A and B are shown apart, each in its own frame.
Chain A
Amino acid sequence: DSGVTQTPKHLITATGQRVTLRCSPRSGDLSVYWYQQSLDQGLQFLIQYYNGEERAKGNILERFSAQQFPDLHSELNLSSLELGDSALYFCASSQRNMGTSGTYTVNTGELFFGEGSRLTVL
């Protein structure tokens, strides 16, 4: 058990609909990451929040949005769903462990993943 909770585990919906995925991070973790995993695209970074603020954005579509609430849980909202949005959506939390290695800034923080939310769009 990673300590990260994602709900729902499975979701089946129709094209054009909107869904919300929820993530509760490990106790004490301030960073939350969202990833999309599909067979042909691997694990794609969507967005990261740190203590309620957006910190980094990856390949997130404009139809998708996310937020992190004061209690640190996060929600990923997917709207105007298309068939191609069918995938496993993972949330991960971490404590940033920043340091240096030579001239590089490194983050050795471990990502703790939830079990994922499997979205099927029909």
Chain B
Amino acid sequence: NAGVTQTPKFRVLKTGQSMTLLCAQDMNHEYMYWYRQDPGMGLRLIHYSVGEGTTAKGEVPDGYNVSRLKKQNFLLGLESAAPSQTSVYFCASAPGSGSSYNEQFFGPGTRLTVL
């Protein structure tokens, strides 16, 4: 049981390039989330999904797109990277039901630098 995994762990992009971050969970969780964390800050919610085929905007969605084609995967895309998107990106999942429905499990993070 690997929990929540993220690919890649590190990435450097040039301004204007695109990339996709992959999040996978093997806990059969309904809910999945993408956050970003800037130095000295708490995490901020980018987008989230409450089930396969559904997505919703979080606090800071601009410049990002997401897709949840399979229940276990949640993809975060940057179409045209900007230096302001330099950050550490965390994916999380939560059961969505049951006694621990609200407990989010986080992945190890992806460190992205945009030059």
A and B co-occur in one complex: no
| A contact set with B: CB distance below 8 Å | none
| B contact set with A: CB distance below 8 Å | none
